[in-house]
Amino acid sequence: MLRICLVEPEIPPNTGNVSRLSAALAVPLHLVEPLGFDVSEKAVKRAGLDYWEHVQLQVHPNFSAFVEAARPKRLIYTSSTAETLYTEVEYQPGDCLVFGKETAGLDPALWGEHPGLVVRIPHWGPVRSLNLSNAVAIVAYEAMRQLRERGDVPPPVPRAEDRPPTTPYERRKRRPT
């Protein structure tokens, strides 16, 4: 199973977007503290995250605790300075995609302490990096595409209109008019 790990995320909407992505892909999401926001049940309800019950979330006090608890098969770090493109990797079941905080990315010492692959998403314009949730989506969908093509993950669930509504939002949206 693929995993996603955010190290010290700072911006709540980015982590909210990544948590929705995690639920959509049915992959666990790991958050490494310190967090720049509250993920308590009360805060989540206040934010109206109707998909939160589908997020397989674990919060860890530090990166070493994450590695010890999750025991990922392989760590794949993201960095705007990496030589290897994210599309040049053959993703495997058990991989964990690791992303750093919005303001500073990942500390390179991290992948020195916990070896793994380091990949980047190419840019053609003059920006130094992409939005965190966009970067996670790009790499995660490439990994899932590869895993699906090799038969390592099941096919996606049917389209939303072909399955029963599961959230209050979906139920309201599909009411006959």
> Cβ of 91: how many Cβ atoms within 10 Å?
22
Alpha-carbon distances, residue 135 vs 38, 99, 123, 162, 173 (angstroms): 22, 8, 11, 29, 30
- In the prediction, which pLDDT does 114 show? 87
Residue pair 36/10 in contact by the 8 Å Cβ criterion = yes
Tens-digit pLDDT profile for residues 112-135:
888 899 999 999 999 888 999 999
pTM of the model: 0.85
Q: Residue 22: what pLDDT?
A: 94
The low-confidence residues of the chain, meaning pLDDT below 70, are 40-49, 159-167, 169-177
Distance, CA of 133 to CA of 153 (rounded, Å)? 22
AA identity, residue 125? G
Q: How many residues does the chain have?
A: 177
